[in-house]
Amino acid sequence: MTDQKRPAAVPARPRAISRRGLLQSAAAFGLASGAGGLLLPGVARAQEVPQSGGTLRAGILGASSNTNDPALRQDEFGVMAAYTTFNHLVEIAPDKTLAPELAESWEAAPGAKEWVFNLRKGVEFHDGRTMTADDVIYSINRHRGEASQSGAKALMAAIEEVEKLGSHQIRIRLASGNADLPWNFSGDHMAIVPDGFDNWMKPVGTGGYVQTSFEPGVRATWERNPNYWKEGRAHVGEVEFLVLNDPQARIAALQSGQIDALGLVDPVAVEMLKGSGAAQVVNSAGGQFWSYAANCKLAPFDNVNVRRALKHGIDRQKILDIVLRGNGRIGNDQPVAATDPLFNTELGQTPYDPEKARYYLKEAGLDGLSLQLDTSDATYAGSANVGQLYRQAAQEAGIGIEVMRQPADGYWDQIWLNPSRQMTSGVWMGRPTVDMLMSTIFAGDAPWNEAFWSDPRFDGILVEARAELDPAKRKEMYWELQSIIHADAGHVIPVFADFIDAYSPRVRGLMPTPSWYLMGARFTERVWLAS
């Protein structure tokens, strides 16, 4: 956790939450019932009327290679900038439901293979043009096709056709049914830009702010879009992003009042920031979790009892207390966050129980167990230290863990998903839908099946649930899936880490938002500044 403090570490080192982390997370939206009971001045209170104006300054992780092109964006900067400049077809509302944004409504044909989206009329781009279906189709097609360089290419791969039905209506045909399709359009990659647009130094969108300057890796500024179509949104007069990467400098900048907003706050700083009165800290419990994946194709981890021993040999509370300083929840070896409506509330929590672990080892016919655990800062900073905690706890259960610290460079390419490794660590930001989450990590043919686990029954239920439009049935199926993972899969999921943000005292309208840092990356249009 040492390095929790450096959510982004320094530029030379791959970001703490890189690749699997930050990059996906933008598209990540766990539905959650946010952390309640905040008594901060900035947290929205009904009686307060938002004020307009002022300059909102945020410290953002970034690099000189940043671009405004949402298809190629990297880092926190790209995500935050995307939601400041652009709108999307749908948005995750602060009340955690899927809300219309540039699409006013949508409808799926039975089987969820065909979708029709009705677009909002009278929305103007920053350059004065009015948004039509052509713009939306262009914006979607940018991510498809052979030549696409987009990060959302895989996400859009299931789309077979995008059709214009009218000036403000489109139809999307999928290869197979997907009840959750609209969620895919809330991700930052999927920003809506004018038809044919490609001048990314001067981005044009329909968002609440118009970019006025952009120095990659240094700063960017916006001013309020005077023609913004949304009511009661985008309150501040100007927005400024300062690229701040050094963990110490980020906190210091907030403490000394040079910035108003900071995401990816190190849990270690939380208490101090709260105590100092110099900042408001907002925790958003969401879908971010750490994982240890035991290789189920490799003996002895192909024996479910060994996997159960591993699950009982970890002291989740200690990791939560020490590494996260309580800023999170303990995990239960399944990926759905407790804040998700589809969370299986009836699943029993696996405790830290060395005796039980020993018992399971014996069941597996083993007296003891020793294994190598690969960790790397490529996952989250300080993962090696968390590994040490696991080692300490597992020792009691007769499980010897050798914590390997792998170089960040090449960890994802060479160590992770390498069928010869015994146990690897990973980090997941959650996914907008439980289906996405499970199909990317747990399905037998999942691209990132880090535990090499497969269960035909699980796979069958998963496909069935995907096309199911009935909420009650969905819930039943997803509960079942969670329980299968919990009991059988190769994953040890010790904790869910909160998204922790900090704001200067003058920021108002704050609200825990489960989907990502800084109010699901939409803070610029949701907060306002007290004078």
Partner 1 sequence: MSLHDITAPPLRAPGFARLPVLAAAAFCLACLAAAVAAPVLAPHDPADLVALPWQPPGDGFLLGTDQLGRDMLSRIIWGARVSIGLSAAITALAFAFGVPAGLAAAVLGGWADQAMSRTVDLFMALPPLILALLALSVTGTSLVTLTLVAAFLAALRVFRLSRALGVDLATRDFVDIARLRGEGTLRIAACEILPNAAGPLIAEAGLRFVFAFLFVASLSFLGLGVQPPMADWGGMVRENAGALNYGGIAPLVPAAAIALLAISVNLLGDRAAGGRTGR
Partner 2 sequence: MGRLILRRGGTGGLLVLASTLLLFLAGEMMPGDFASKLLGASATPETVEALRLSRGLDASPAARYLAWLGGLLHGDLGLSLTNGREIGALIASRLGNTLLLAGLAAAVAVPLALALGTLAAVFRDSWIDRAVLVLTMVTVATPEFFFAYVAIAVLAVELNWLPSISIPRPGMSVWEVLQVLVLPVLTLVVTSTAHVARMTRASIVAAMEQDYVGTAMLKGLPRGRIVLRHILPNVAAPVSAVVVMTLADIVVGLIIVETIFAYPGMGQLMVDSVAKRDITVVQACGLIFAATYIFLNMAADMLAIAFNPRLRSAR
What does the DSSP 8-state code read for residue 323? I
Residue 268 in the binding site for partner 1 (CB under 8 A) = yes
Residue 252 as a binder of partner 2 (CB under 8 A): the answer is yes
Residue span 287-326 as binding mask against partner 1, x where in contact by CB under 8 A, dash where not: -------------------------------x---xx---
In 343-470, which ranges are continuous DSSP H helix?
354-363, 383-396, 434-441, 456-466
Binding track, positions 101-140, relative to partner 2; x by CB under 8 A: ----------------------------------------
Which residue in 225, 260, 266 sits closest to 241, CA to CA? 260
Give the H/E segment covering residue 134: helix 133-141
Q: Find the binder of partner 1 among 111, 166, 257, 410 (CB under 8 A).
A: 410
Residue of 33, 51, 67, 255 interacting with partner 1 (CB under 8 A) = 255
User: Cβ distance 458 to 479 under 8 Å?
Assistant: no
Q: Number of helices (H) and strands (E), helices first, in the chain?
A: 15, 22
Number of residues that bind partner 1 (CB under 8 A): 34
In 3D, which of 195, 166, 216, 262 has the Cα closest to residue 519? 262
DSSP state of 354: H
The whole-angstrom separation of Cα 299 and Cα 296 is 7
CA-based nearest residue to 403, from 418, 419, 424, 428? 424
Cβ 241 vs Cβ 73: under 8 Å: no
Residues 211-240: x where in contact with partner 2 by CB under 8 A, - otherwise, as a string: --x-xxxxx---------------------
Contact string 222-251 vs partner 1 (x = CB under 8 A): -------------------------xx--x
- Rule CB under 8 A: say whether 327 interacts with partner 1: no
How far the first Cα of the chain sits from its last, in Å, is: 37
If contact means CB under 5 to 8 A according to the sort of partner, which of partner 2, partner 1, none does residue 389 touch?
partner 1
Asked if 506 touches partner 2 (CB under 8 A), the answer is no
| Smallest gap from residue 247 Cβ to partner 1 (A) | 7
Residue 54 CA to its chain's centroid (Å): 29
- Beta strand segments in 285-344, E: 289-294, 328-330
Quick check: 117 and 111 in contact, CB under 8 A? no
239/270 with CB nearer partner 1: 270
With both helix axes pointing from N to C terminus, report the angle between 354-363 and 383-396 in degrees, rounded to the nearest 10.
Answer: 80
Residue 469 binding: pick among partner 2, partner 1, none (C-beta 5-8 Å cut-off by kind): none
Could you give the 3-state DSSP secondary structure of residue 529? strand
352 vs 411 by CB, closer to partner 2: 411
Of partner 2, partner 1, none, which one sits near residue 161, judging by CB under 5 to 8 A according to partner kind? none
Applying CB under 8 A, among 91, 180, 240, 377 the residue interacting with partner 1 is: 377
Cis peptide before 100 (omega within 30 of 0): no
Q: Residue 366 touches which of partner 1, partner 2, none (CB < 5 to 8 A by kind)?
A: none
Nearer to partner 1, 56 or 279 (CB): 279
Burial class of residue 275 (count of CB atoms within 10 Å of its CB; 0-12, 13-18, 19+):
exposed
Nearer to partner 1, 124 or 321 (CB): 321
- When the beta carbons of 68 and 280 are compared against partner 2, the nearer one is 68
For residue 186, what are the CA distances in angstroms to 9, 328, 365, 450?
28, 25, 49, 26
Q: What's the rounded Cα separation, in Å, for the pair 457 and 462?
A: 9
**Binding at 268: pick from partner 2, partner 1, none (beta carbon under 5-8 Å per type):** partner 1
Which one of partner 2, partner 1, none interacts with residue 432, CB within 5 to 8 A by kind? none
Q: Which stretch binds partner 1 (CB under 8 A): 45-53, 163-171, 379-387, 497-505?
A: 379-387
Task: Tell me which amino acid residue 333 is.
Answer: D
CA distance 339 to 198: 39
- Among positions 99, 175, 249, 469, the unique one binding partner 2 when judged by CB under 8 A: 249
Binds partner 1 (CB under 8 A): choice among 166, 407, 447, 471: 407
Contacts to partner 1 by CB under 8 A: 1-3, 5, 9-10, 12-13, 247-248, 251-252, 255, 266, 268-269, 272, 318, 322-323, 377, 382, 384-385, 387-389, 392, 403, 405, 407-410
Contacts to partner 2 by CB under 8 A: 10-14, 18-20, 23-24, 59, 63-67, 69, 72, 74, 146-155, 200-201, 213, 215-219, 242-246, 248-249, 252-253, 255-259, 409-410, 413, 448
